[in-house]
Structure 1
Amino acid sequence: MSVSLRLGVLEGDGIGPEIVPAAVRVVDAAVAAAGMPPVEWVPLPVGRSAIESAGSPLPDATVKALSGLEAWVLGPHDNAGYPEPHRSRLNPSGTIRKHFGLFANIRPAKAFDGARALLPGTDLVVVRENTEGFYADRNTFAGAGEFMPTPDVAIAHGIITRAAVERIAHEAFRLARGRRGRVTVVHKANVLRLTSGLFLQVCREVAREYPDVAVDDEHIDAMTVHLLRRAPEFDVLVTENMFGDILSDLTAEIAGSLGIAPSVNASADRAMAQATHGSAPDIAGQDTANPAAMILSCAMLLDWLATRHSNPQLTAAARRMEAAVADTLRTGTATADLGGTAGTRAFADAVVDAVG
C-alpha cells in the first residue's frame, strides 16, 4: 500500500547546500520509480545560515519541527567556523542525536567498482554506540562531561552502561542476520577492564540470543591492522562511540573514499540520514563535492523506514538508489575524490538517470 513520506531536510554548511539537494533529487526519482506518491520535504534551518537568521545553529523551532517527524536528512556542519559562543557548544548533529536519543550510528563501508578501493571486495558495517563511551559531551545529563581541577589537568568521563550496550548489540546482531551472519566485537578490555570489559561481556551475553550468528572479538589496536590487511573478511563490527568513529573513517578510505561513506543515526522510532564526511568548506560552492555518501545515506533512511513499516515499495526505492550509485560509478562517472571529472550536479544527474 502506497504511503506518502514526510521528511525533514536540513542542508547544513559548506558543501551541504550542494550534496543535500542532489540526494533529494535522487530520492524523488527512486520514490516515483517505485510507484509511490511524491515525498513531502520539510525544509528546516540549521548551521551558519540559522545563526544569521535565528541566532542559533539549531533553532528551537527546528527541534520542535523535528519532534513532529519520523525521519530527516541532515547535511554536514562546520561548527569550527561558527562565531562564539556557538563554536564552543555541542554541534547541531550532536545536539540532535542527544535530544532524540539516536543511539545507533550505522556506517557501512562498501567497495564499488570504479571507486578506487584500497581493498576491493570490502563490504562491512560499523555499528557504533552513539550516546556514551569516551565522548564527554554525550556522557552527562547536563554539562560537557569534561573538567579541569587545575590548569594543568584535564579529565573526561568514559561511561559504559549495560542498557546502552544491550541495545546496540541487538542492532548489530539483527543486522548481521540479514547479511553474512558474523559480528566482531571491537574493544580494549585487556586494558580498560571495567568499562570496555563490560562492553565485551554484555555483547557476548546478547550473542547467546542469536545462535545463528557467529561472533568473535578483537582489540581496537589489532583491529586497525586486520582491516588494513583483510577488510573483506569482516561483516558487522560493533563497538563503542569513539572507537566506532575512528574505525568508520578508516573503513571508508579502505572502501575508496569518505565521499562514498553513508550513515544513519537511529533510535527505535526516529532516524536521521547523515553522511560520514564533514562540510569541506574549502571546496564549497565549486560543484566538485561527491554527493554519493549523502545519496546512500538517504537510501539507508528509506530502508530503515521500510523495515519499520514493512513497506516493500520503500525497500524497492532504497535498492534502486544503491544500484544507481553502483552503476554510475561502474560506468566511469565519478567525482574528483574518486579520480573522475564529474561535478556534483553531473554525478547526481547520472544517478537520477540510472534510477529510472
Structure 2
Amino acid sequence: MVSNDGLVATEASTGIRLGVVDGDGIGREIVPAARRVVDEVLAVVHGPRVEWVSATMGHAAIDQHGEPLPESTMQALDDVDGWLMGPHDSASYPPEVRTGPPPGGAIRKRFDLFANVRPARAFTGVQSIAPDMDLVIVRENSEGLYADRNMFAGAGEFMPTPDVAMSVGVVTRAATERIAHHAFRLAQTRRKHVTIVHKANVLSMTTGLFLDVCRDVAASYPDVTIDDEHVDAMAAHLVRRGADFDVVVAENLFGDILSDLAGELSGSLGTAASLNCSESQAMAQAAHGAAPTIAGRNRANPTAMILSAAMLLHWLSERHTDPLLAQAGKRIEHAVAATFEAGIATADLGGLVSTSEFTENVIARVHRR
C-alpha cells in the first residue's frame, strides 16, 4: 500500500505501528534483518501484529528528495509509536546537503528523545576484555556538551575569528531530573545501583549541577544504592572492573564516549544495542556506524540492530501494558545469546557466517521453547 506522500505501509493491522528507516551503508541489511526477527518473534508469542511504515533517510532520501532527511520522513515518524533506525553516513553526503546536523541528531532533537539507553553485555562465545560486564549507560541526549543539541536554534559552536573556536555546554535542572529518574527506574528493575558520572572538580557549575540534581533525585529511590565517579576515573574503572557497575548515568558527551568504551570492552560495537526514547516515542538504533566498506556484501553483523529492536519491544511493553511484547523482547535476547553460545558469529567477531545466515540462526532459536 502506497500513501499519497510516497511512504509505504505493509502488513497493515490493528496492532502497533512502527517505522522502519534503513539509512545508509549496512543499514540496508541489518535493519531488514531486525524487522524479520521482530515479525517472527511476535508471531511465536502471539503478540500484536506490526504495521510497518517505511521512510527514507540518507543517500536514498537525497536521490528521491534532494536532502538526507525530508519532511515526509519526519511526518511519518510523527504517526508511529517507535521505529527501527539504520545508521547514517553523513560524511559521504554531497557538501551542499551537509549544512545541518546529521539525520540522527536532527531526529533526536525533533522528537525530544532525551534518553539514550546503551547496554554493554558480554556474551558467552564472544571474546571480550570484560567477560563479566553487564551494565547500562543512560546518556542524557538533549543538551550537555554536544553542540548540535544544546540550543533552541543553531549550534552551540561558533568562531569569533578564523583562529578561535568556542563551544557552549548546557546543563539544566529539568533535563537532568528526567534523565536521572529514567536511570533510577531502570536500576530498580536490575541490581539497584546507579553510578553518576561527572567532572565537577573542573566543570563545577555544569557537571556540578548534573551531580547535585542526580543526588536530589536519588532521595526518591531509597532502595537504590548510588555512587559517583569523575569521567576520567570512570573510564579507567570500566577497563579494570567493569563488572562492578550496573546503571551509569551521564551527560551527553561523557555518556557517548563511555558507552563506546563499554561496548568494546564487553565484546564489540557490533553487539552494542541502543534505544533513544522520550515518554511517548522510541527509536531503536545500533550504537555503531554505517560501515560503508562492507555494505552490500552480506558481511555486516546485525546483532546490535536486532538487540536494539528487542529494547524497543520492552519499551513498547511498558507503554502499552502488554506483557507479550516484553516476552518477545526477552525471547530475542535469549536467541541471540544462544546463537553466540553455539559458536555462530559474523566475521567481525571471528565467525564464518554471513548477515543473512546469522539472522536465520537467531530466528531458528526464537522458535525454540
TM interval, shorter chain, is: over 0.9
Give the alignment partner of residue 103 of structure 2, picking from 92, 111, 122.
92
Structure 2 residue runs of 5 or longer lacking an equivalent are 1-12
Deviations 1:50-85 (Å, cap 9, x if unpaired)? 001011111111101111111111000000000022
For 2:300, the aligned partner's letter is: A
Give the alignment partner of residue 81 of structure 1, picking from 88, 92, 97.
92
Give the alignment partner of residue 268 of structure 1, picking from 263, 266, 279.
279
Does residue 104 in structure 1 map to residue 104 in structure 2? no
Alignment coverage as a number of residue pairs: 355
Structure 1 residue runs of 5 or longer lacking an equivalent are none
Does residue 171 in structure 1 map to residue 190 in structure 2? no
Give the alignment partner of residue 323 of structure 2, picking from 296, 312, 331.
312
TM-score normalised by structure 1 residue count: 0.98
Residue 73 of structure 2 aligns to a residue whose secondary structure is helix
Deviations 1:179-199 (Å, cap 9, x if unpaired)? 000000000000000001000
Change (3 A) 1:3 1:217: farther
**Separation (CA, whole Å) in 1 of partners of 2:48 and 2:203:** 51
Report what 1:239 is aligned to.
250
Give the alignment partner of residue 61 of structure 2, picking from 50, 67, 84.
50
For 1:350, the aligned partner's letter is: N
For 1:301, the aligned partner's letter is: L
Whether the aligned pair in 2 keeps the contact of 1:103 and 1:168 (CA below 8 Å) is yes
Report what 2:27 is aligned to.
16
Whether the aligned pair in 2 keeps the contact of 1:50 and 1:59 (CA below 8 Å) is yes
Deviations 1:212-237 (Å, cap 9, x if unpaired)? 00000000000011000110110000
Does residue 184 in structure 1 map to residue 195 in structure 2? yes
CA shift for structure 1 position 155? 0.7
Report what 2:80 is aligned to.
69
Whether the aligned pair in 1 keeps the contact of 2:14 and 2:49 (CA below 8 Å) is no
Identify the range of structure 1 (293-302 vs 304-313) with the bigger mean alpha-carbon deviation. 304-313
**Separation (CA, whole Å) in 2 of partners of 1:317 and 1:228:** 33
**Separation (CA, whole Å) in 2 of partners of 1:151 and 1:8:** 42
Identify the range of structure 1 (121-130 vs 143-152) with the bigger mean alpha-carbon deviation. 143-152
Aligned pairs for 1:210-249 (under 5 A) are 210-249=221-260
**Separation (CA, whole Å) in 1 of partners of 2:254 and 2:94:** 30
Whether the aligned pair in 2 keeps the contact of 1:81 and 1:87 (CA below 8 Å) is no
**Separation (CA, whole Å) in 1 of partners of 2:109 and 2:204:** 27
CA shift for structure 1 position 36? 2.1
CA shift for structure 1 position 3? 6.7
Deviations 1:77-111 (Å, cap 9, x if unpaired)? 00000002222420111000000000000000000
Report what 1:332 is aligned to.
343
Identify the range of structure 1 (2-11 vs 283-292) with the bigger mean alpha-carbon deviation. 2-11
**Separation (CA, whole Å) in 2 of partners of 1:256 and 1:316:** 25
**Separation (CA, whole Å) in 2 of partners of 1:281 and 1:150:** 36
For 2:277, the aligned partner's letter is: A
**Separation (CA, whole Å) in 2 of partners of 1:135 and 1:310:** 34
Residue 209 of structure 1 aligns to a residue whose secondary structure is coil
Report what 2:208 is aligned to.
197
Report what 2:263 is aligned to.
252
Whether the aligned pair in 1 keeps the contact of 2:16 and 2:81 (CA below 8 Å) is no
Whether the aligned pair in 2 keeps the contact of 1:79 and 1:86 (CA below 8 Å) is no
Report what 2:219 is aligned to.
208
**Separation (CA, whole Å) in 2 of partners of 1:30 and 1:319:** 10
Does residue 282 in structure 1 map to residue 296 in structure 2? no
CA RMSD of aligned residues (A): 1.0
TM-score normalised by structure 2 residue count: 0.95
Does residue 352 in structure 1 map to residue 331 in structure 2? no
Residue 148 of structure 2 aligns to a residue whose secondary structure is helix
Report what 2:160 is aligned to.
149
**Separation (CA, whole Å) in 2 of partners of 1:299 and 1:37:** 15
